[in-house]
Structure 1
């Protein structure tokens, strides 16, 4: 398929899900009829790649539901409340999600779509909220529900008291019901934002990496030294507290609930390669993307190590390949000048998107589509064909560590 053909298909995908009145794409009109935080950040990146100024409208809409405290909700309801109770607010959820808006703002600006001062201020306040209100005494960022982490059925949450605590008895309906019930264990701030939980609090390696990454991206865009210092501090803390020498990955840290399942080898454990200053750690982790005994699969990285008992390539967050994760792995590979790995990842991701029918996620062994289809964030594969979308020198490693210079 030519680049032009791919671009045409991606444009059709986004336009078919665009809600003109609300100014954003619904990920899938039937399954996901609302706005989701990190979905819309990725939509904005795709629009920018397509040269379409709806990139700005999408990012504006993503941040428009921000609470007075600074929390950016993980959902804005599309005309009706969500089916589940997601907190006391009428128009948005009370939870958050991976804050990909710092990176999105930087990508948009690099492609000539400069966000407004108001949107950039919202992005900064969103990251500042995480820093001020969601840090442990050790300096890690915590989440209070699996939905905030983005990987809500991951094996890493198996021993947080959820039904399906082992690979042998995992049940998606039971886990979903457990997740819904956990919202009632959350305490909320005066503006409705989630604050703490009596049953689930964790410091995920990936979520911490996403925060550090977006701090660094927004810091460069704004020339903001405070954000840059926070990014560097968080990255160092991730390396010091979450690196798992045996798995050669970064693991999660349970705070309330949880236990050894936090060390299950999932591809989320590679995400700190986006921000670490430790080249050896980054290469050890990223080298597993193409290792068939770890995450390497024909249609892009499996989300769980293929030799682990939890691995199920057909089941939600138990093994399938995910387009947004592939995009972030690609950024990390480019950061460390692993051009061969980045090229392979791009090819396999595009093959997976096409084979799956632009599905939400897919079986990494055969490319069979899973979840909602078509799903807008799968259009991210268009970015993997255009290195110009990558802001040079992502993160803040030094030039002599082999990273691409800005």
Structure 2
């Protein structure tokens, strides 16, 4: 359960859109325009208890200005303005008597936000003002997390310490976490239970035509070492707040310029929103996460504190367009946990990249860490896109052996019949303790969890895989999936490019030959001439056409696998309103399928990654006009260009947004799609 402002608890989705930057683990929102009680402060913070988001307060640092002992009305001169800008939140108030208050929140570091309050005097008389801040804890409703936060006054402001709580599915702290507000000028603080008041010791004098600034930082740290480091960084920010602000503005202007390059004018706002979504979901290294990465969504409880493999590959492709350094670290964040030959628990999985890694693994009460399956192999594509953005051959050298080991793992552990075509499957893992659990893990490994093609009722089951010595090494499902093998062929082609750039021409030829073989096998065994579509096949070689058409059948266009004639037939299916040319195009299951369900996760909704693969596939085969038209219908039909957040997926018939808001791979692949 995730607590939200006002004490209400929502099950999974946070309805408040927040902003974070630089990989911080706490975030803020603008105040409610209709709720004057929230004016004068930024909503929040929303802090992440290692893996789960919780609101610390509705407004923890609310600024109050006084004159002659009386509070100044922040709405006295008219309606305030609340604005979310690239890289900062801003609120502006016009007070009676010619005073204007502007507050801006930016991030100085990956653990510290900087808030600047500027008081301008546009009147004719000097003003002598008092300034104070107040806030109150918003405690979780249930124990033991209810008792975790404790408010403390400090010499520089106020802090919140957190008790140790190890609730695997709701709240995780070690008792070393701290949230701390630090003021740039001398203050005094009084704490009364869960409420506090901090008062500036001096009066603020503002002459006519002049202004005065009040600066403070708000830091959220996990460990004592982080806290010690952050004290110095916060002090540095308070010593030079203008430098911090200017550096942040320069960085964000670069983000916007690079992300909108080549984007039509009417789509640039959407491109900037995509950047803002990705940056807010950026988490810096912490706990078991050794490099910075991008979580799927800070707004959804289960997506807040970890990184997923194929999400990461897609995030990196989008992020490389405006922040290639972050894109590199995202890829590293997953390969940090690649299984090696020396692994004591699962040496048979050497080369595998786990499905999901979090702040905590199982040894530290982490329930979300997942090594019972992997995710589709798109990592070489991501590495190549980063190289295209940077020209950094050292990154290619760093990643090449890891990518090669990942490829080898697929064919060693996920080719049940040793015919060179792979299957989705599962690892030897305590959670995969039955055929049904192994089948479920295999569906997760595809990333398309509940797609009809993985239904047990339709004949999908898990089979045990063994090595040459007869030792179990994992499981495969009893079908070879078209998307998996197209992805593998594409990654082999990218590995060939990488090897060539590194001067390994012999290896490059081998990768190209392998990709060519896989592409031919997919073309010959998985394409059905009768329906003009690609399908998964059984291990006996039968095309599983009775399960209906899925959007995965368009992936061979993106990968360059299809022949020209096959691509022409697939194009017809993508345009046909009875199949994939729905009002909002590219549903995950064809409208004609008996298993189509417009709002049911992978059984019909439009996912932007699959839309990207289909649209890029059309472009690859010369159907650029169709790709542009379908993309326009996609963007306009979902209203992604307005102020609403980008969602995980969309109803293909109505365009209604579905599931997690502020979803990262939607944002990431919109950037190249636009």
TM-score range, shorter chain: 0.7 to 0.9
| In structure 2, distance between residues paired with 1:313 and 1:277 | 28
Moved over 6 A (4+): 82-86, 185-189
Question: 1:209 Cα deviation (Å)?
Answer: 0.8
| In structure 2, distance between residues paired with 1:10 and 1:113 | 24
- Structure 2 partner of 1:147: 444
- Structure 1 partner of 2:408: 128
The structure whose RCO (Cα within 8 Å, separation 6+) is larger is 1
Alignment partner of 1:367: what SS?
Answer: coil
Question: 1:113 Cα deviation (Å)?
Answer: 5.5
- Structure 2 partner of 1:102: 380
- Structure 1 partner of 2:325: 53
- Structure 1 partner of 2:189: none
Question: 1:276 Cα deviation (Å)?
Answer: 1.9
Question: 1:67 Cα deviation (Å)?
Answer: 0.8
| In structure 2, distance between residues paired with 1:147 and 1:245 | 29
Q: Which runs of 5+ in 2 are unaligned?
A: 1-264, 341-349, 426-441, 501-507
CA contact (8 A) 2:574 2:580 kept: yes
- Structure 2 partner of 1:19: 283
Question: 1:326 Cα deviation (Å)?
Answer: 1.1
| In structure 1, distance between residues paired with 2:519 and 2:315 | 26
Change (3 A) 1:308 1:149: same
Higher strand fraction (1 or 2): 2
Alignment partner of 2:421: what SS?
Answer: coil
Alignment partner of 1:31: what SS?
Answer: helix
Structure having the higher Rg: 2
Change (3 A) 1:237 1:262: farther
Aligned residue pairs total 357
- Structure 2 partner of 1:308: 593
| In structure 2, distance between residues paired with 1:157 and 1:62 | 26
CA contact (8 A) 2:536 2:543 kept: no
Change (3 A) 1:52 1:281: same
What does 1:342-357 align with in structure 2 at a 5 Å threshold? Answer: 342-351=627-636, 352=638, 353-354=640-641, 357=645
| In structure 1, distance between residues paired with 2:635 and 2:328 | 25
| In structure 1, distance between residues paired with 2:367 and 2:421 | 28
| In structure 2, distance between residues paired with 1:233 and 1:338 | 26
Alignment root-mean-square deviation, CA:
3.0
Q: Which runs of 5+ in 1 are unaligned?
A: 167-178, 386-406
- Structure 1 partner of 2:32: none
TM-score normalised by structure 2 residue count = 0.49
| In structure 2, distance between residues paired with 1:260 and 1:112 | 42
What does 1:10-89 align with in structure 2 at a 5 Å threshold? Answer: 10-21=274-285, 22=289, 23-29=292-298, 30-32=301-303, 33-68=305-340, 69-81=350-362
Pairing partner for 1:220 from 497, 500, 504: 497
Question: 1:7 Cα deviation (Å)?
Answer: 2.6
- Structure 1 partner of 2:232: none
CA contact (8 A) 1:300 1:349 kept: yes
- Structure 1 partner of 2:482: 205
CA contact (8 A) 1:254 1:262 kept: no
TM-score normalised by structure 1 residue count = 0.80
Does residue 236 of structure 1 match 2:508? Answer: no
Alignment partner of 2:573: what SS?
Answer: helix
| In structure 1, distance between residues paired with 2:592 and 2:562 | 29
Question: 1:290 Cα deviation (Å)?
Answer: 1.7
Change (3 A) 1:277 1:321: closer
Higher helix fraction (1 or 2): 1
